[in-house]
Structure 1
Amino acid sequence: MESDESTRQRAAVDPHDPLLGRVLDGRYRIVRRIARGGMAGVYEAVDLRLERTVAVKVMHSGLGDGNDFAQRFVREARAAAQLSHPHVVAVYDQGEDAGTVFLAMEYVPGRTLRDVIRDEAPMPPLRALGLVEPVLGALAAAHRAGIVHRDVKPENVLIGEGGDSPTIKVADFGLAKAVSATSSHTATGVVIGTVSYLAPELVVQGQADARADVYAVGVLLYELLTGTKPHEGDSQIQVAYKHVHEDVPAPSARVPGLPAYVDALVARATARDRDQRPADAGVLLHQVRRVAQTLRDGVLDDPELEADLRPLPVVAPLPVELEADADGFADLESPVERTAVAAAPVGAAAARPTHDELPVSDRTQQIQLPPDETAVASAPGITRLPAPRPDLPREPRTRRRSRRGPILLLLALLLVVGVGVGSWWFGFARYTTTPSVLGMNRAEATAALEQAGLEVEVGDPSYSEDVPVDDVVATDPGPGDRVLPGETVTLSLSQGPERYDVPKLAGLSVDDAQRALEETKLEFGRQVDKYHDSVPEGQVISSNPKAGTTLRPGTAVNVVVSKGREPVELTDWTGKKAAAATKALRGAGLEVETEEVFDNDVAEGVVISQSPTTGTLYKGDAVKLVVSKGPELVQMPRVIAQGQQAAKERLEALGFTVKIERSGQYIGLGFVLSSDPGAGEMVPKGSTVTLFLI
């Protein structure tokens, strides 16, 4: 027997698994096993045709035997594939390969709700309702399409990797129905595999409608709130018995402090009488949102909400005091009356399934109910007096036919019937129930409500992530609420998803940016400070996402805020190469102004002076460098054959210092024979020129 909780083997690499590496239907190459359950194994695979990662669910060997199962599996897979909802795992393909029946689905990396329960439960009620809401959204879409899941459990709720707002998706629509419909598959049937979440009618009759999914979600919500399952037992049979004969306990009994209306919500969803449960997941979704809003408002006690949610009590007959005879029973008219009292059923708790009433999957392990020896003693309205002690002698008495007993019994019955009818009429029968019109358009909803004898008006619209624009997203009174005929039901039509554009924040102060985001229901996220040459300190430079981007309410928007111009500590480059100084200063964001001058003492390309030399500047400020061009060069003129005085005056006018010497051929003429440096050479201004006379 498989345990109720599927054995999950993440990233399992089993060398003996024949599916690893196999290509199914020539398309899906199996990479690794992700999980294993009672009906199937789930594998990560690569779709070779579309080059994408998918999840492939492979039915266990034996489940796919025979055409009947294959046809049923294809039919249910096709129905599931028609579901298009953000919280439903998409079904891509279905096939069969050499007797291996498989389903190709959307791959959702992450974890399951079972992991969340193990890590976080018991959890605050708002967190629990937040996890249940998308599950109900998916089930509501399925119920509107006429599809019942039948196997809602934490292992079938996948939570994708998404940071603060991960994607929640429900998997395996219709697979339980396909498997459980064949009596030859009891070993891995849905009843045994998921008994902890089974509605009583599935245990007793094997029949399921949308209310069975509602029951399973109620059990799941109890588990999120408390960290435990409501019914435990040493065997699956004991757990199934408790689902039929025991109410789900109030979560506050295990987690004190939970509001009474949260207990009432769980009690309503898990009522053993399915007529008292919400009609479908859409109705329960509406109730969950009411409870969540009340919690968000900080209301811990709401008697009106609790009364709306609490299942209706069963009216019990008034007790009848009877005289005991020697058999321990009242003096009834006939043995038939005694038999009727002794065999009187004790409400829903006394009902037990027969072998024929159980689902086929459970007939091999029929639930053995305890004997009803205490049934009469515990029956409402019946007082059984103790039997006489066997050690006392019984006194013979003459049997008499008393009219008092039947008359009193008849009067008591009439009184009980009268009180019951009155209570039934004034407390229940004169009311009608608001039909669920969620997801319908205005015309369809109006027609359905008017057909139920109710008036209709349109109220304020509401945003919705799931309901299309102009379809009904909520009603007041809500679906399933009791109303008198002729009362008015107010419709709230969907405005579609609530979205807001990021406002233009550039140029605003931080405070103004925060206010602008709050006005558009967006959150001020992370502030990044950055130097900027032109945006003043304290003003917003930009936002991420940028202005005009459409976002969900509450999404964080990060902003870049100016720290003003970036400061630069100045270095003195005097006496250093001008090229290196210019590169460093410009790299620091400064402007460089250069002036080149001749300097006989400073080599060419070296900084003669800098202004300013030290201190703190800001990017964009200017620094002036005076750079040496080296000494100024003058071309040596030709002065040969000129007179000594004329040549000297000419050279001194050019800035040279003149030195006179006699040549080796000097004969006293006083004319220049040669010069050093010679004519045409470039000579630094101020250099000494020697003239040789003849």
Structure 2
Amino acid sequence: MTLDDPLIGTLLDGRYRVDQRIATGGMSTVYRGTDTRLDRVVALKVMHPSLVDDPDFTARFIREAKAVARLTHANVVNVFDQGADGRTVFLAMEYVPGCTLRDLLRERGALSARAALDILEPVLAALGAAHRAGLVHRDVKPENVLITEDGLVKVADFGLVRVLSGGDGAVTNTTSATTVLGTVSYLAPEQVQPGMPTDQRVDVYAAGILLYEMLTGTKPHVGDNPMQVIYRHLHEDVPPPSLVAPDIGPGLDAIVAAATARDPQGRPYDAVELLATLQRARRSLTPQQLDAEPPTSSRTTPQHPTGEVTAPVARQVEHTSVLEFPTLSLTRPRPYDEPLPDRAARPRRSRRPLIWTAVVAVLLALVGGASYVLSGAVYATVPSVLGQTQAQAVQTLDRAGLQGTFGQQFSESVPAGQVMASDPGVGQRVRKSDPVKVTLSKGPQRIAVPELTGKPLEEARKALTDAGLAPGATTEAYSDSVPQGAVISATPGAGRQVAVNTPVAMVVSKGMTPVPNVVGLTKDAAAKALTDAGFQAQTSGLDFFGTGKVVSQNPPAGQPTRQGSVVTLKLPAF
């Protein structure tokens, strides 16, 4: 397939060499390439030629580059450059060696709860950073979750990103009366209802589908064609994953149910709130629940096709696509020519029961109205305070008749001083007498690397673990000043402020330098070998013609000796 690709071997914009095709999607193809100016490997995302003349698709490419340029996050695939070479429109992006979450699910089927959470948490951190920057991804799916060879998780493909605008933070849906743009298995109900506004909660919905799929190995909504899948998104709740994987516990069932609520108001406000909820649920799970082996039945392939569009490659991938569909209605209208059902004549009844029924209904209405008024005095709906300062959150809660208690936690995605979570969450009903627990971000947690030089290796490793860091790679080198087995240096160095669990590499002393073996060499060759190794050469014996070879040396070969020491060479006396 790659041999027939005309882009292979070409140079885009005089800078990016196209080396190998690695993925094909609904709107673009991704190649492994080389930035010839900086001599680094990049991923080149090239728009399909058939879409180049469409200004909407071209605008999406440019929008993706600008949107991701606003994000600085370890779990977001960086976009380096955007350009065009003739009719080839492309993005130059960070190359992430590894696999996609789709590859992992295809290979392993369902994942343990621990593995699923280890993947979803960085995905939510990336989406949370996008949401707090005013961006909505809108195409979250396993194909867009990349896992590097060392286990780092990154979110890619912001091709359908939208910028939040307006006072309510909503974006206008691209769904028209007849089209849907996206990947049907992960579309939120409001994305497939014409004219419905969408916001960051469409990403929350897709993240809930991701969690269900990782825990069970299957998608919650399948069908014989895309329209059947869309219908199920509109009319059916996502089932609890514990029906397939009973060992995961009710906490994850509740998170999947909340994230995939058909009403957007019932979902967590954004990925940051969902992440906080997920982390609280994780702390409540036992090690047995986290590491329970998924049932083998969850590793089987679903029998129902999902209406997904496939590229002409060996493995099946669900692409982002434009789907044509008729306007959907929640109820089936009766055809205008359908006759009304026959009704048998009924005898006249006394109106007295009707009067009493009406009286009772009025009384119930009065009681219900009073209860509603009273409930308004007792209960309130928790407003959104996410992203606000403590002072702003106090005012927002006060307007709703609520009070807050404030705590702090470290966060890699929420700036210091801003609200990162509330309990109860946004939109939930709470007694006005009960305080709302509000968590403020302390910003990223940073730890100073301890001084390790001169410490024995095991002691240095313990110091790193006690500080909340991780021992990294260990190499060895000779040292005249550091005892054997002790640390010569560390990277990052002592005092550097780094994130929690950052690996610290160490160079460990092998002790003093061994004297090289120069017996059998000529005087000049032996002297050069000793000098190169950091020693001084001194000869004894008479070698009038300079042709004799060293017969012995002191210190002997291999003996650890301080560099700069004198090594005496004995030459034959003739």
Residue 161 of structure 2 aligns with an amino acid whose one-letter code is G
SS state at 2:151 partner: coil
Q: CA deviation at 1:261?
A: 0.4
Aligned to 1:8: none
Judge conservation of contact 2:446–2:500 (CA < 8 Å) in 1: yes
Percent identity, aligned pairs only, is 40
Pair 1:183–1:365, CA change in 2 (3 A): closer
Aligned to 1:507: 454
Judge conservation of contact 2:71–2:130 (CA < 8 Å) in 1: no
Once residues 347 and 118 of structure 2 are traced to their aligned partners in structure 1, the CA distance between those partners, rounded to angstroms, is 69
Once residues 71 and 586 of structure 1 are traced to their aligned partners in structure 2, the CA distance between those partners, rounded to angstroms, is 65
- Residue 276 in 1 paired to residue 266 in 2? yes
Once residues 113 and 545 of structure 1 are traced to their aligned partners in structure 2, the CA distance between those partners, rounded to angstroms, is 31
- Residue 540 in 1 paired to residue 487 in 2? yes
SS state at 1:196 partner: helix
Aligned to 1:104: 91
Once residues 178 and 94 of structure 1 are traced to their aligned partners in structure 2, the CA distance between those partners, rounded to angstroms, is 25
Once residues 410 and 183 of structure 1 are traced to their aligned partners in structure 2, the CA distance between those partners, rounded to angstroms, is 43
Aligned to 2:115: 127
Pair 1:596–1:487, CA change in 2 (3 A): same
Judge conservation of contact 2:46–2:89 (CA < 8 Å) in 1: yes
- Residue 434 in 1 paired to residue 422 in 2? no
Q: CA deviation at 1:26?
A: 8.9
- The equivalences for 1:617-656 within 5 A come to 617-620=559-562
Aligned to 1:35: 23
Q: CA deviation at 1:611?
A: 9.0
TM-score by length of 1: 0.60
Once residues 173 and 514 of structure 1 are traced to their aligned partners in structure 2, the CA distance between those partners, rounded to angstroms, is 45
Larger Rg, first or second structure (1 or 2): 1
SS state at 2:2 partner: coil
Once residues 243 and 139 of structure 1 are traced to their aligned partners in structure 2, the CA distance between those partners, rounded to angstroms, is 22
Once residues 627 and 73 of structure 1 are traced to their aligned partners in structure 2, the CA distance between those partners, rounded to angstroms, is 80
- Residue 207 in 1 paired to residue 196 in 2? yes
Once residues 205 and 572 of structure 2 are traced to their aligned partners in structure 1, the CA distance between those partners, rounded to angstroms, is 93
- Residue 496 in 1 paired to residue 405 in 2? no
Once residues 59 and 249 of structure 1 are traced to their aligned partners in structure 2, the CA distance between those partners, rounded to angstroms, is 37
Aligned to 2:307: none
Residue 184 of structure 2 aligns with an amino acid whose one-letter code is V
Per-residue CA distance 1:192-226 (angstroms, 9 max, x = gap): x5221122333344524233332222111111111
Residue 158 of structure 2 aligns with an amino acid whose one-letter code is A
Once residues 586 and 142 of structure 1 are traced to their aligned partners in structure 2, the CA distance between those partners, rounded to angstroms, is 59
Aligned to 1:194: 183
Q: CA deviation at 1:568?
A: 6.9
- Residue 220 in 1 paired to residue 220 in 2? no
Per-residue CA distance 1:149-188 (angstroms, 9 max, x = gap): 43322223344x452334444522337999955668x5xx
Q: CA deviation at 1:371?
A: 11
Once residues 323 and 519 of structure 2 are traced to their aligned partners in structure 1, the CA distance between those partners, rounded to angstroms, is 92
Aligned to 2:237: 247
Pair 1:426–1:291, CA change in 2 (3 A): farther
Q: CA deviation at 1:583?
A: 7.2
- Residue 237 in 1 paired to residue 224 in 2? no
- Residue 262 in 1 paired to residue 245 in 2? no
Q: CA deviation at 1:264?
A: 0.8
Pair 1:589–1:401, CA change in 2 (3 A): same
- Residue 116 in 1 paired to residue 101 in 2? no
Once residues 546 and 48 of structure 2 are traced to their aligned partners in structure 1, the CA distance between those partners, rounded to angstroms, is 87
From 137, 153, 161, give the equivalent of 1:174.
Answer: 161
Once residues 57 and 545 of structure 2 are traced to their aligned partners in structure 1, the CA distance between those partners, rounded to angstroms, is 96
Residue 141 of structure 2 aligns with an amino acid whose one-letter code is K
Once residues 81 and 614 of structure 1 are traced to their aligned partners in structure 2, the CA distance between those partners, rounded to angstroms, is 63
Question: Quick one: higher RCO (CA 8 Å, sep 6+), 1 or 2?
Answer: 2
Judge conservation of contact 1:148–1:209 (CA < 8 Å) in 2: no
Judge conservation of contact 1:500–1:550 (CA < 8 Å) in 2: yes
Pair 1:243–1:411, CA change in 2 (3 A): farther
- Residue 448 in 1 paired to residue 390 in 2? no
Q: CA deviation at 1:465?
A: 1.6
Judge conservation of contact 1:237–1:365 (CA < 8 Å) in 2: no
SS state at 2:91 partner: strand
SS state at 1:137 partner: helix
Aligned to 2:471: 524
Q: CA deviation at 1:130?
A: 2.9
Q: CA deviation at 1:412?
A: 8.9
Residue 385 of structure 2 aligns with an amino acid whose one-letter code is V
Q: CA deviation at 1:14?
A: 6.4
Per-residue CA distance 1:250-273 (angstroms, 9 max, x = gap): 111111200110011001111223
Once residues 237 and 416 of structure 1 are traced to their aligned partners in structure 2, the CA distance between those partners, rounded to angstroms, is 43
Judge conservation of contact 1:30–1:44 (CA < 8 Å) in 2: yes
Pair 1:421–1:125, CA change in 2 (3 A): farther
Moved more, 111-120 or 429-438: 429-438
Aligned to 2:168: none
- The equivalences for 1:581-596 within 5 A come to 594-596=539-541
Judge conservation of contact 1:180–1:361 (CA < 8 Å) in 2: no
Query: What 5-or-longer segments of structure 2 have no aligned partner?
Result: 164-170, 291-321, 335-343
TM-score by length of 2: 0.71
Pair 1:95–1:106, CA change in 2 (3 A): closer
Q: CA deviation at 1:603?
A: 10
Residue 498 of structure 1 aligns with an amino acid whose one-letter code is Q
Aligned to 2:278: 288
Q: CA deviation at 1:235?
A: 2.0
Q: CA deviation at 1:419?
A: 10
Once residues 127 and 559 of structure 2 are traced to their aligned partners in structure 1, the CA distance between those partners, rounded to angstroms, is 66
Pair 1:183–1:472, CA change in 2 (3 A): closer
Pair 1:165–1:421, CA change in 2 (3 A): farther
Per-residue CA distance 1:494-518 (angstroms, 9 max, x = gap): 3332222322212112343133212
SS state at 2:248 partner: coil
Residue-pair matches, total:
521
Once residues 626 and 51 of structure 1 are traced to their aligned partners in structure 2, the CA distance between those partners, rounded to angstroms, is 52
Judge conservation of contact 1:29–1:47 (CA < 8 Å) in 2: yes
SS state at 2:451 partner: coil
Residue 127 of structure 2 aligns with an amino acid whose one-letter code is L
Residue 554 of structure 1 aligns with an amino acid whose one-letter code is N
Per-residue CA distance 1:5-35 (angstroms, 9 max, x = gap): xxxxxxx5263x6766788889887666543
Q: CA deviation at 1:542?
A: 2.6
SS state at 2:246 partner: coil
Once residues 20 and 527 of structure 2 are traced to their aligned partners in structure 1, the CA distance between those partners, rounded to angstroms, is 61
